[in-house]
């Protein structure tokens, strides 16, 4: 018998009892669709996190004071490790203070900014110190708004943060150095204070915890990332914020932008060299952390991968159960058609002919279930599932379909062999 005939006979076998074949196929169908959809959900959530992080810009670095550093280095040591350079005597005394409690200062930011003009930090494009003020309430003309994040920084911050001024203007370097009380507000803040026409707020004097700032611009809406409203923020010159809301102590962090995504690692090592020198520390006892977006991305991606594998494993189990369903039905079919098997053997069917016939039938069932499962999986992946827009992973489609067919082969083998090993005389007597 050639392949076409084997398939034709198998097709006949499958269509004899249609409801049964459909139900058997359903097991495989659900398994394949589940694998595709669940892996797509995993991939989708991982992509959502990646998008969020890459919106920050993959070539940014954040320097923060380390919460785990040992500290306690003496001032003398600081002096030894920092023989002049960036800041002179003032820096040395600062350094001695820093060594006791890990701190990042304005001077650190200034030193990196100065180095970025030279070869010392050639990979650094921009540097912005970040001063944060907490629990700030904005008040204007009787309206008030509790600000989510109040950031003091330099004009360079907008570039590093990928923020754009939608209405009005940004503050300037001269306003920064002049400690001018000007501010940029996010759309959420503006809407709460002046209503939907956010440009009305430009030029107005808004009080933040009683300190009056002139609003010069409105930031372009960024939308929300999960529960966090990214437009609920105010940005002002760090100098003015230190004067009024934050004080002159250590700063929250330093945001650094590398010249390109490829130079992020170089920028990081250059920044570390500068800060190691200023803080009098080595790689072993650093009192600060430099995080880059790609390392955060890596951590998020690997945790998401675990999640995806877990989802896929659950789906794979349902596929396995579907395969057992195929085996079950094939065993029933073999029993039902024992007499037919006997007749076929009596007129000269070889063992291989019978194995082939029943194996083809099992594979046909799983093939059909797999194909429809792929369609259902692809269609199902178009819908948002528990807040995640699934992204179909091509490998999962190929894998699920392939496994479905292999399952048909493997689980069809036992029933097929059982059919083939029947003795014709016993098979024909079977009623």
Q: Give whichever of 12 and 199 is closer to other proteins, judged by the CB atom.
A: 12
Tell me the closest approach of the beta carbon of residue 22 to other proteins, in angstroms. 18
Which lies closer to other proteins via its Cβ, residue 21 or residue 170? 21
Beta-carbon contacts of residue 335 (< 8 Å; ≥ 6 apart): none
Interatomic CA distance for residues 408 and 333, integer angstroms:
15
Structure tokens at 184: 């940029």
- Shortest Å distance, C-beta 354 to other proteins: 10
The gap between the terminal CA atoms of the chain, to the nearest Å, is 27
Which of 308, 298, 268, 421 is closest to 355 using CA atoms?
421
Q: What is the DSSP string of 11-78?
A: HHHHHHTHHHHHHHHHHHHHHHHHHHHHHHHHHHHHHHHHHHHHHH-TTEEEEEE-SS------HHHH
CB of 17 to other proteins, least distance (A): 11
For tokens 């269609």, what's the residue? 379
CB 428 → other proteins: shortest distance, Å? 7
Minimum CB distance to other proteins smaller for 37 or for 420: 420
Tokens of 342: 């006997």
**Which residues pair with residue 150 across a beta bridge?**
133, 234
The distance of Cα 340 from the centroid of its chain, to the nearest Å, equals: 57
The residues that touch other proteins, with contacts defined as CB under 8 A, are 1, 5, 12, 16, 339-340, 343-351, 353, 423-425, 428
Nearer to other proteins, 16 or 321 (CB): 16
| Tokens 């390392």 found at | 295
Question: Toward other proteins, which CB reaches closer, 331 or 428?
Answer: 428
Tokens of 72: 């306690």
* Minimum distance of other proteins from residue 372's CB (angstroms): 25
Q: What is the distance, to the nearest Å, from the Cα of residue 4 to the centroid of all Cα atoms in its chain?
A: 48
To other proteins, the closest distance from the beta carbon of 6 in angstroms equals 10
Residue 424 C-beta: closest distance to other proteins, Å: 5
A 10 A CB-CB count for 218 gives 24
**Cα 240 to Cα 246: distance, rounded to the nearest angstrom:** 9
> Given the complex with other proteins, which of 347 and 386 has the nearer CB atom?
347
Nearest to other proteins of 346, 379 (CB atom): 346
Closest CB to other proteins among residues 215, 354: 354
Least CB distance to other proteins at residue 351 (A): 6
Question: In the 8-state DSSP scheme, what is residue 232?
Answer: S
């Amino acid at each position: 018998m050639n392949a076409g005939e084997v398939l034709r006979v198998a097709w006949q076998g499958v269509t004899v009892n249609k409801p049964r074949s459909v139900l058997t196929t359903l097991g495989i169908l659900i398994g394949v669709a589940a694998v595709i959809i669940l892996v797509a959900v995993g991939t989708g959530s991982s992509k959502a996190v990646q998008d969020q992080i890459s919106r920050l810009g993959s070539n940014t670095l954040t320097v923060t004071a380390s919460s785990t550093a040992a500290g306690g280095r003496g001032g003398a040591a600081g002096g030894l490790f920092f023989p002049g350079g960036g800041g002179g005597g003032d820096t040395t005394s600062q350094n001695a203070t820093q060594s006791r409690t890990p701190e990042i200062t304005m001077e650190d930011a200034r030193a990196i900014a100065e180095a970025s003009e030279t070869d010392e930090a050639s990979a650094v494009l921009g540097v912005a110190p970040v001063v944060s003020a907490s629990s700030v309430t904005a008040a204007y003309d009787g309206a008030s708004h509790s600000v989510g994040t109040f950031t003091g920084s330099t004009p360079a911050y907008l570039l590093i943060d990928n923020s754009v001024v939608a209405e009005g203007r940004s503050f300037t370097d001269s306003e920064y150095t002049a400690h001018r009380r000007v501010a940029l507000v996010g759309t959420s803040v503006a809407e709460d204070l002046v209503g939907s026409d956010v440009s009305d707020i430009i030029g107005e004097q808004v009080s933040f915890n009683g300190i009056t700032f002139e609003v010069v611009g409105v930031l372009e809406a960024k939308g929300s990332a999960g529960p966090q409203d990214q437009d609920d923020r105010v940005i002002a010159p760090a100098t003015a914020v230190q004067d009024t809301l934050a004080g002159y102590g250590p700063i929250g962090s330093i945001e650094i932008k590398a010249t390109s995504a490829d130079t992020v690692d170089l920028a990081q090592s250059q920044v570390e060299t500068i800060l190691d020198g200023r803080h009098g520390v080595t790689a072993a006892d650093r009192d600060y952390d430099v995080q880059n977006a790609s390392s955060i991305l890596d951590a998020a991606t690997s945790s998401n991968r675990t999640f995806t594998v877990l989802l896929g494993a659950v789906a794979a189990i349902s596929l396995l159960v579907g395969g057992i369903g195929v085996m079950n039905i094939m065993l029933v079919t073999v029993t039902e058609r024992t007499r037919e098997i006997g007749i076929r053997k009596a007129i000269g069917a070889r063992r291989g002919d019978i194995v082939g016939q029943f194996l083809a039938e099992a594979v046909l069932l799983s093939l059909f279930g797999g194909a429809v499962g792929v369609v259902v999986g692809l269609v199902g992946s178009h819908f948002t599932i528990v807040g995640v827009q699934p992204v179909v992973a091509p490998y999962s489609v190929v894998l699920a379909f392939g496994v479905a067919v292999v399952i048909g082969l493997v689980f069809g083998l036992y029933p097929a062999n059982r059919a083939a090993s029947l003795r014709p005389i016993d098979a024909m007597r079977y009623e």
